[in-house]
Structure 1
Amino acid sequence: MLNQATLAALMAGDHSDPFSILGMHQVDGKLTVRALMPGAVNVALVEIKTDRQLVSLERIEGSDIFTAVVPRRKNPFPYRLRIDWGSHQQELEDPYRFPPILGEMDVWLLAEGTHIRPYEKLGAHLTEMEGVSGVSFAVWAPNARRVSVVGSFNNWDGRRHMMRLRRECGIWEIFVPHLAAGDLYKLEIKGQDGSLHLKADPFAFRSELRPNTASVVQPIAPVYPSTPERRQANSLQSPISVYEVHLGSWRLVPDDGCRWLTYRELAEQLIPYVKDLGFTHIELLPVSEHPFDGSWGYQPTGMYAPTSRFGTPDEFRQFVETAHANGIGVLLDWVPGHFPTDAHGLARFDGTHLYEHSDPREGFHQDWNTLIYNYGRKEVANYLIGNGLYWIERFGIDGLRVDAVASMLYRDYSRKEGEWIPNQYGGRENLEAIEFLRRVNGIVHTQRSEATTMAEESTSFPGVSRPVEQGGLGFSFKWNMGWMHDTLKYMQEDPVHRRYHHDQMTFGLVYAFSENFILPLSHDEVVHGKGSILSRMPGDEWQRFANLRAYYGFMWGHPGKKLLFMGSEFGQYAEWNANSSLDWHLLEYPVHSGVQRLIRDLNAVYRHFPALHQLDSEPRGFEWISHDDRDNSVFSFIRRADDGDFIVVVSNFTPVPRHAYRIGVPQEGNYREIINTDNNVYGGSGVGNGMLRANPVGSHGRSWSLEMTIPPLATIMLKLEP
């Protein structure tokens, strides 16, 4: 007989080891079976092999626990429970008759925090045990008093499927027979203080559409094949021109309540659009499940679940496959820097500060009202590192753009004196975060060598995109935030004043090859009152568009990979509004369609001529012709390829055409304009040169030179004819 304390604990859902009591056990030499069945009238034991009812279980008085001694049996055997619910009968497999789920090696690696693919073991997995199909559940909650799987399959009753604790690693597990894909579930966690927490599964592969927050049983996606083509497309020497997109507001369907496009519709509309404009990659604002639309995905609660806003995980994978079939790589904004405080998420997951720091000086982002991961806790780091690999390995994501790296690197990020805790050496660097980032990059690059990683990092932290073995963080690329801020500030100046700010356009070349840079004009630059890129350009209507086109030409000529946020490619007037569609109607006007055509042509020449991309990260790929013509606000430089082929780039950032302007060039021959942002087809004034012949007249330290007309507020690119 069970004592009253054990009965009370089981009935209250407060027993930490239900597997030691429930199910089939040898007790005092007798084979005994026990089942906790709230609401049942009668329970009987059925032998699976013979399909015979062997014994009826008796209810223990004052409880919903049924028990019986199995007659004439000594050894455990497979069985089912035949349950009379009063209104109907049902036969169920008893989850407490099945063995542990995790193997010894998995337990070892998970406890050590070195399991490269924790998502293959933790979470919910469709599986078969002892010939029975169902779902295995496993969750890390080492400080919980009790953990249960709840859902409609057990009336959300935490007493029905209390899990087994693997004390070696702090993971709770259970196999629930008969569950299938599409079933909803959550984890009911009782803390040591008796508090109940109803949580979504941190490793759930699918989630309900907000505002609902349950996890959904979903088959894990198969491993996505690696190809030499993807590896080449993501290399340092390849053209990388990125179109950054927020899927919820790129284009809405006006005839259907202005709803979002689905993943399938995005594959049909967005991918051809990106391909037509010549972008090599598309970067998605975070698609990990998130509760609040207004966070744009940057406050995720379901790191392993593509958001259900646009469809299923399978449909998201098909979106990626469509992109690849069209030669487009897919990059994903990835957020390991912080997470929201929503009750169903990771905050105080097992009743303690498990994923986050307990001290708000370490564990709370004041800027975003979010929590900070405890990177020093090996299981937390393993959860995140596995997630980065998961997106690449299971969905074919080509690269991770890691969000808010600067906030991760420094303990005093956006904090006043006394609001942060120094590291063990008294410094401001977050040593645990630095080690975490190195591990992420190391594992991603060794496990999937075709993948790339990109850091949104705005400080002077050294070696962000240098190998770990050389003391770097190991990223493939770093966003060049300094270039972005300097050049945008310059472009906002009235042309008559630009001579006094000339260095803002040249300073980026002082450090251009210290990292592998991406030049970003991202979503952050077109929100929160900053206006659109076009709206920052000075002058009348014509000058604003001319400035924009000249700026884009300068950007595509400048060393560094390119990134442009959606809407900027056709000169949207208004700043980005995540709640509405882009202003596609503007393309009816030539000035806007002209900007779009320029982007298409810039991408075409960028991809076609290795001089514009091959040596982006090497000093030998760039050479100034003139960087000091402040009075005319003219910049001229040479971009070179590995074989010595070159492109000449000249920008004039005043509305005055510069006639008979001479620049030195490397060699004699005919030079053809391959880009002129003042071309009529782009909405310009049509001032240009067509073909130019180099003369043996010395200029800028060279024996040959070109005499040209530089159009007003324009960038031109010149190619030596063979």
Structure 2
Amino acid sequence: MDEELNIIKNDPWLEPYKDAITGRHQHAIDKEKELTGKKTLADFATGHLYFGLHHTEKGWTFREWAPNATAIYLIGDFNGWQEQPKFKLRKVKNSGNWEINLPEKAMKHGDLYKLKVYWEGGCGERIPAWATRVVQDDETKIFSAQVWNPSKPYKFKKKVFNPNISPLMIYECHIGMSQDAEKVGTYNEFRENVLPRVVKDGYNCIQVMAIQEHPYYGSFGYHVSSFFAPSSRFGTPEELKQLIDTAHQMGVAVIMDIVHSHAVKNEVEGLGNFAGDPCQYFYQGDRREHPAWDSLCFDYGKNEVLHFLLSNCKYWLDEFHFDGFRFDGVTSMLYYSHGLGEAFCSYEDYFNGHQDDNAICYLTLANKLIHQVNPRAITIAEEVSGMPGLAAPFADGGYGFDYRMAMNIPDYWIKIIKERRDEDWKPSSMFWEVTNRRKDEKTISYCESHDQALVGDKTIIFRLIDADMYWHFRIGDENGTVERGIALHKMIRLLTASTINGGYLNFMGNEFGHPEWIDFPREGNGWSYKYARRQWHLVDDPTLCYHYLGDFDAAMVHLIESVKNIQKTDVIEVWHNDGDQVLAYRRKDLVFVFNFNPTRSFTDYGFLVPRGEYHVVLNTDSKEFGGFGFADDTVAHFTCADPLYAKEKKEWLKLYIPARSAVVLKRQK
């Protein structure tokens, strides 16, 4: 490769690692040619149309990849769960594939089934790797595949969806815990009860967690067993399709939290020892098990595994019309160490030979495939190490993700809330943290996601207010701790959301300061659903302070979306003074002013901005958002001329900025 790749041109510090970068790039090109020949990745990634159970004109066809098997039987409701010769698969010559063709009457919609797999020295029941419907028995808790061939399959009303995501505003959600009741919520309940809230609040994308089937509900969906089966806990595949279709009709994109970084260890439900070969899908030796997650690591060097995972990406796009994916655990995939115990202090850490080039190749091909299938698709990498090029285009030498998660930002907010007195918060440090990113890569900024809401951690509102949430959150009964928490909650969100260069993410309920952590039913809590739900009644209660935070979040989201492509505009610092704890910056015609000082308000505090008339469009201190309303936001603000800055066409904008508040002003045309 003679011509230098753009990611190196854009960042001269990458020049010493040119060989590694171009080598990874060429690896993906070579692997794509090996897999596809003269076809495309979209043509290659069609394993779901070949493997698994399919209804045909002649009846049923079932296929499975199991190179270590010596015999395979279909067992289920249709044959009394007994091995029968007519349900025995035959091995396809010169391959590790097995198949069987059955007449129409052999099985019917709703029948439960499994595989009985034999191998040298053993046998066991298995759920097919490509099963698209898996259900759990309420009494025995045993999982089985299910024949899914409804007489009236769902037909999408919105066949083509062109999402308006400028910028991308993501509402991260979990179907099961999305209801107020102490139970597992459903796709239908989410569609009816939560989706309208998302639209009203202004978010244009939902990121749905825990879709792929997982045996243990408390894993939050991250220990996947059946990669092609939408979780039956929440309803049927048709109901998931209706949810996505309805979201599209409401103008909301739907992306899926996809887990290709590891798989559950389970053998009966999962891929852990599929046909007597513990490494059919997974790495050999010490690399097979993830040391921190108690799970198994895919062997991305096997073409059959690439076929499985790439087909999985295409399946969810084609069959369910998802608009893209947030790839979980990318850091774990990139490094032999899974990123554990590494600081990532220099570029050397990204190119020192400790990286899994097979995984890097897979992620690159996955992004190419996804955008081949749907050019408008959205891909996001959850990655903490800062690997250069992750969200740069493949043509530039990157891995092709559209966005990467800005995981430094929530860590920063937690750190200063925990470790710094309010008087020691430095606006210059805050501004640097929320804008510290590679110029050629888009990020998803967020204050907190589901990670910060789990038991053992704390949400921002709980770190700020703690137990006073329970005793002083009724309007008129707020104490100083609550007033501080409400003020900072809004300011932290506004600073994070208004400085995006790609998109913004909020986890379901955090926008209104949901008071409880997340704790799924488990033995240690008596299998309770008390903390695996969202208490919407709190934000709906006009007598409680929660609605202040919810109303502010909606106003903030709508304001940011009102500026088309605000994420592409420059974030221009106007002023910071760490002594005063004041920060100001502008984007297009908006000026953002923050006073983090806990005690001092400032009168006629001046900033140099483009001359003009400015109107207040959002104020965290407004009474409608639980503030004190110290400033008169109906007053128009006119800049004052200064001959020293006449050539720059800048003038002084002088404001009253109350303590612990932020205001957004818009320059009038």
Measured against the shorter chain, the TM-score band is 0.7 to 0.9
- For 1:410, the aligned partner's letter is Y
Of structures 1 and 2, the one with the larger relative CO (CA 8 A, separation 6+) is 2
Residues 174-201 of structure 1: CA distance to partner in whole angstroms, max 9, x if unpaired? 01222222111111111123x1121111
Task: Go from structure 1 to structure 2 and tell me whether the alpha carbon gap of 1:608 and 1:356 turns closer, same or farther (over 3 Å shift).
Answer: same
Aligned counterpart, 1:214: 144
Q: Does 1:551 align with 2:516?
A: no
Aligned counterpart, 2:546: 592
Aligned counterpart, 2:557: 603
Q: Offset at 1:275?
A: 0.9
Q: Offset at 1:486?
A: 1.9
Q: Does 1:705 align with 2:652?
A: yes
Q: Does 1:524 align with 2:473?
A: no
Q: Offset at 1:552?
A: 1.4
8 A Cα contact 2:89 2:100, kept in partner: yes
Alignment equivalent of 2:100, drawn from 139, 152, 174: 174
TM-score, length of structure 1 as denominator length: 0.77
8 A Cα contact 1:107 1:168, kept in partner: no
Q: Does 1:629 align with 2:580?
A: no
Task: Go from structure 1 to structure 2 and tell me whether the alpha carbon gap of 1:122 and 1:332 turns closer, same or farther (over 3 Å shift).
Answer: same
8 A Cα contact 2:154 2:242, kept in partner: no
1:115-126 equivalence runs, <5 A: 115-126=44-55
Aligned counterpart, 2:131: 204
Give the count of matched residue pairs.
584
Q: Offset at 1:604?
A: 1.1
Aligned counterpart, 1:649: 592
Q: Does 1:251 align with 2:179?
A: yes
Residues 106-148 of structure 1: CA distance to partner in whole angstroms, max 9, x if unpaired? 99999x997221111110011122xxxx321100001111111
Task: Go from structure 1 to structure 2 and tell me whether the alpha carbon gap of 1:457 and 1:718 turns closer, same or farther (over 3 Å shift).
Answer: same
1:488-503 equivalence runs, <5 A: 488-492=414-418, 493-499=420-426, 502-503=428-429
1:258-337 equivalence runs, <5 A: 258-337=182-261
Task: Go from structure 1 to structure 2 and tell me whether the alpha carbon gap of 1:584 and 1:222 turns closer, same or farther (over 3 Å shift).
Answer: closer
Task: Go from structure 1 to structure 2 and tell me whether the alpha carbon gap of 1:571 and 1:505 turns closer, same or farther (over 3 Å shift).
Answer: same
Q: What do you get for the CA RMSD once the two structures are aligned?
A: 2.7
Q: Does 1:583 align with 2:526?
A: no
Q: Give the structure with higher Rg (CA).
A: 1
Aligned counterpart, 2:469: none
Task: Go from structure 1 to structure 2 and tell me whether the alpha carbon gap of 1:226 and 1:439 turns closer, same or farther (over 3 Å shift).
Answer: farther
- For 1:624, the aligned partner's letter is E
Q: Offset at 1:566?
A: 1.3
- For 2:90, the aligned partner's letter is R
8 A Cα contact 1:109 1:115, kept in partner: no
Worse-superposed segment, 592-601 or 551-560: 551-560
Q: Offset at 1:509?
A: 2.1
Task: Go from structure 1 to structure 2 and tell me whether the alpha carbon gap of 1:108 and 1:240 turns closer, same or farther (over 3 Å shift).
Answer: closer
- For 2:585, the aligned partner's letter is F
Worse-superposed segment, 331-340 or 586-595: 586-595
8 A Cα contact 1:401 1:455, kept in partner: yes
Task: Go from structure 1 to structure 2 and tell me whether the alpha carbon gap of 1:664 and 1:169 turns closer, same or farther (over 3 Å shift).
Answer: farther
Q: Offset at 1:429?
A: 0.5
Q: Offset at 1:392?
A: 1.3
Aligned counterpart, 1:22: none
Aligned counterpart, 1:716: 663
Question: Between the two proteins, what is the percent identity of the paired residues?
Answer: 27
- For 1:711, the aligned partner's letter is P
Q: Does 1:242 align with 2:170?
A: yes
Task: Go from structure 1 to structure 2 and tell me whether the alpha carbon gap of 1:480 and 1:699 turns closer, same or farther (over 3 Å shift).
Answer: farther
8 A Cα contact 2:331 2:339, kept in partner: no
Residues 67-90 of structure 1: CA distance to partner in whole angstroms, max 9, x if unpaired? xxxxxxxxxxxxxxxxxxxxxxxx
Task: Go from structure 1 to structure 2 and tell me whether the alpha carbon gap of 1:107 and 1:404 turns closer, same or farther (over 3 Å shift).
Answer: closer
Alignment equivalent of 2:515, drawn from 564, 573, 578: 573
Alignment equivalent of 1:367, drawn from 292, 297, 307: 292
- For 1:377, the aligned partner's letter is K
Q: Offset at 1:524?
A: 0.4
8 A Cα contact 1:151 1:184, kept in partner: yes
Report the Cα distance in structure 2 between the residues aligned to 1:703 and 1:719, rounded to whole angstroms: 15
8 A Cα contact 1:490 1:505, kept in partner: no
TM-score, length of structure 2 as denominator length: 0.82
Q: Offset at 1:359?
A: 3.3
SS in 2 for 1:145: strand
Residues 422-455 of structure 1: CA distance to partner in whole angstroms, max 9, x if unpaired? x9x9811010000000111000101111211111
Report the Cα distance in structure 1 between the residues aligned to 2:645 and 2:81, rounded to whole angstroms: 81
Report the Cα distance in structure 2 between the residues aligned to 1:497 and 1:355, rounded to whole angstroms: 55
1:2-401 equivalence runs, <5 A: 115-129=44-58, 134-160=59-85, 161-177=87-103, 178=105, 179-193=107-121, 195-209=122-136, 211-219=141-149, 230-234=161-165, 238-253=166-181, 258-344=182-268, 345-401=270-326
8 A Cα contact 1:282 1:329, kept in partner: yes
Q: Offset at 1:167?
A: 2.9
Task: Go from structure 1 to structure 2 and tell me whether the alpha carbon gap of 1:107 and 1:615 turns closer, same or farther (over 3 Å shift).
Answer: closer
**Bigger fraction of residues in strand:** 1
Segments of structure 2 that go 5 or more residues without pairing to the other structure are 1-34, 343-348, 466-479, 521-528
8 A Cα contact 1:113 1:382, kept in partner: no
8 A Cα contact 2:223 2:263, kept in partner: yes
Report the Cα distance in structure 2 between the residues aligned to 1:573 and 1:513, rounded to whole angstroms: 37
Task: Go from structure 1 to structure 2 and tell me whether the alpha carbon gap of 1:286 and 1:295 turns closer, same or farther (over 3 Å shift).
Answer: same
- For 1:533, the aligned partner's letter is I
8 A Cα contact 2:204 2:253, kept in partner: yes
Residues 358-389 of structure 1: CA distance to partner in whole angstroms, max 9, x if unpaired? 53421111111000111111111111111111
Segments of structure 1 that go 5 or more residues without pairing to the other structure are 1-105, 418-422, 641-645
- For 1:206, the aligned partner's letter is R
8 A Cα contact 1:649 1:717, kept in partner: yes
Alignment equivalent of 2:391, drawn from 459, 465, 469: 465
Report the Cα distance in structure 2 between the residues aligned to 1:526 and 1:516, rounded to whole angstroms: 25
Report the Cα distance in structure 1 between the residues aligned to 2:561 and 2:295, rounded to whole angstroms: 40
SS in 2 for 1:577: coil
Q: Offset at 1:584?
A: 3.0
Q: Does 1:478 align with 2:404?
A: yes
Report the Cα distance in structure 1 between the residues aligned to 2:132 and 2:236, rounded to whole angstroms: 10
Report the Cα distance in structure 2 between the residues aligned to 1:434 and 1:599, rounded to whole angstroms: 37
Aligned counterpart, 1:533: 460
Residues 23-70 of structure 1: CA distance to partner in whole angstroms, max 9, x if unpaired? xxxxxxxxxxxxxxxxxxxxxxxxxxxxxxxxxxxxxxxxxxxxxxxx
Q: Offset at 1:513?
A: 2.7
Q: Offset at 1:415?
A: 5.2
Aligned counterpart, 1:83: none
8 A Cα contact 1:227 1:450, kept in partner: no
- For 1:715, the aligned partner's letter is A
Residues 178-231 of structure 1: CA distance to partner in whole angstroms, max 9, x if unpaired? 2222111111111123x1121111111111136221101124978968866x44
8 A Cα contact 2:205 2:252, kept in partner: yes
- For 1:621, the aligned partner's letter is D
Q: Offset at 1:719?
A: 0.6
SS in 2 for 1:146: strand
Task: Go from structure 1 to structure 2 and tell me whether the alpha carbon gap of 1:370 and 1:635 turns closer, same or farther (over 3 Å shift).
Answer: same
- For 2:115, the aligned partner's letter is L
Task: Go from structure 1 to structure 2 and tell me whether the alpha carbon gap of 1:227 and 1:124 turns closer, same or farther (over 3 Å shift).
Answer: closer
Q: Offset at 1:712?
A: 2.2
Q: Offset at 1:342?
A: 1.1
Report the Cα distance in structure 2 between the residues aligned to 1:633 and 1:172, rounded to whole angstroms: 68
Alignment equivalent of 2:330, drawn from 394, 398, 405: 405
